[in-house]
Structure formats: C-alpha cells, structure tokens
Amino acid sequence: MSDFLAVAREPIYSPGKVEQDHGILEAVAEQLSATHTVRVVKADERCSDPTPETIVFAMCQGPPALDRLRRWEKAGIRIVNAPQAIENCHRRRMLAAFAHGRIPHPPSCLVSTDGRNELSSWANGAFWLKRGDVHAMQPDDVVLVHDSSGAHEVLRGFHRRGIGDALMQRHVEGDVFKFYAVRGGFFHCLPISGGAPLREAEDEHALAALARRGAEALGLEVYGGDCIRDQNGSLWLIDLNDWPSYAACRTRAAEAIAAYLDAQTRPKTT
C-alpha cells in the first residue's frame, strides 16, 4: 500500500468547470483508495510535506502551488503532472516546445500587447488572438479576428488587463476535435462545434499519435487538448492542457489515470 496526495485546482483556473474538475480528481482518488491511502487537499491548503514515498497527483496551476510542487519535486517526490510540464502548457512555452519538437500546429507567433510588434504578414485573413500565458480564464481570452484593426483592439484590451503578450494563431478551416489522454494508452476524442466525426480507426490513431507527440514535447502524462483536421485531411494540434476535466469520459478516464498512478508505485524493470 502506498500513499497518494491529490492537489485540487484553484477555482480561478476552472472557469465554469469547478465541479467537473474536482469530479475527475475525486473519481481518481476513489479508484486508488481501494488499495492505497489517498488524501485530497485544496491548492492553498496548509498541509505537512509528503514523505518521499508519497506520489502526488496535481491539478493545481497557480504560482504558489507550483512553487510548493517544485520544492517537493526537489526532495525526490514523484509528481504527476510535473510542475514544469504544467507550466509548459502556458502558450508562450507551448509555442516554443512545439517549434522545437516540430509538432504540426497552425502558424503562430507571440506579439506584445503594447503595440510595439508588427502583426504577422497573414494578418489580412482570419486569425486568433489568445492570451500568451495561461489558458482561457474568461470568454475574451481567446478571440477570432479578421483584420488588423480588430486585432489592435483586442491587444489593447489584453494590455489593459495586464497581459503582456498574446499568441497570434492563423485560423485553419476544418473539423475540430477535443481529446483526452493518459500516457501509456488511454485516448478518447470527439468532434466539437457540430463537426464531422473521425472517418476511420486510422484517423483516430493519427490524431492520438499527434497528441502523444505534443504531450511528450511538454512533458505531460495526464492531458487533453484540441486538434483540427483541415480540408486536405492534415491534422494540426491547437492546444494542450494539463489534466482536463475528462467530463466526456470521466469513468473510463478515472480508471485509466488511477491505473497509471498505481503503476508508478512499482519498481521499474530494466
């Protein structure tokens, strides 16, 4: 029997999904509790440091909680997802990791919200502006614009809110899919916005492989995200998130995550 410590996500990072995010964490904890000791704490809750034998699974995303995870990690505690992997989901870091790993993603660049940067040459078509740090926390954190004047208005709005840079991402027409995954095999996807479903098993295999490559580039073990299939059939990774709510497949996902965490308690064979 091993000890597990679950760290919940801060409500500010669960816009409109507080119950769903907490639901998957509790479901995983329940699965593990059949054979292990499991404790669930809030991200800002005072608690004693876990022992080196404890495995921490964390949904938290705020700087204070990540600082604590880093301290535990330096003490040799196994953490899923690792604090660096969680931070790698910030868009500015994700863009660099995707470029380094040659992960297919829509043409993207970072622009300053203070107006100092020129917009990309493809700004005469539709493109997205997304806050450059964390994922969307309110509706206007991700905005589709169609020209430079609209872009500058969005950037000024970001700047007024203290957001220093934004991700500018070219719009790609096609079918968008949301996916949920766990390192080692579990994968579930579904079309969103009324898009067409995947046509064949080979398509799902290709999407899963792309998601896996992106997750490896960021260091994620429990993850989800969005992918688009363009009109030529090519796949593009749009976003990756650390530990999503798995609302569309919670029961199966909780079983897969718990099995993955349980496997971390056993010595690795060479």
116 band by pLDDT with thresholds 50, 70 and 90 = confident
Domain of residue 56 covers 3-81+252-257
Residue 125 shares a structural domain with residue 164:
yes
Residue 56 shares a structural domain with residue 136:
no
CA atoms within 13 A on the CB side of 56: 30
Last residue of a domain, one of 170, 187, 206: 170
Residue 96 lies in a domain: yes
Residue 262 lies in a domain: no
Residue 75 shares a structural domain with residue 38:
yes
pTM for the model: 0.90
* Segment 227-234 long-range contacts (CB within 8 Å, at least 24 positions apart): 227/176, 227/177, 227/179, 227/189, 228/106, 228/172, 228/174, 228/175, 228/176, 228/177, 229/174, 229/175, 229/177, 229/203, 230/172, 230/173, 230/174, 231/173, 231/174, 234/104
Last residue of a domain, one of 155, 170, 185: 170
Count CB neighbours of 45 within 10 A: 10
**Residues near 221 by beta carbon (within 8 Å), at least 6 away in sequence:** 80, 81, 82, 85, 182, 183, 215, 260
Structure tokens of 157?
């709005």
pLDDT at 257: 97
Instruction: Find the mean pLDDT for residues 89-113.
Output: 91
pLDDT at 199: 65
Instruction: Find the mean pLDDT for residues 97-105.
Output: 94
CA Rg, the chain, in Å? 19
The number of domains in the chain is 3
pLDDT at 238: 94
pLDDT digit string, tens, across residues 31-68? 999 999 999 999 998 888 898 899 999 999 999 999 99
Residue 10 shares a structural domain with residue 77:
yes
pLDDT beyond 80 at 6:
yes
pLDDT beyond 90 at 120:
no
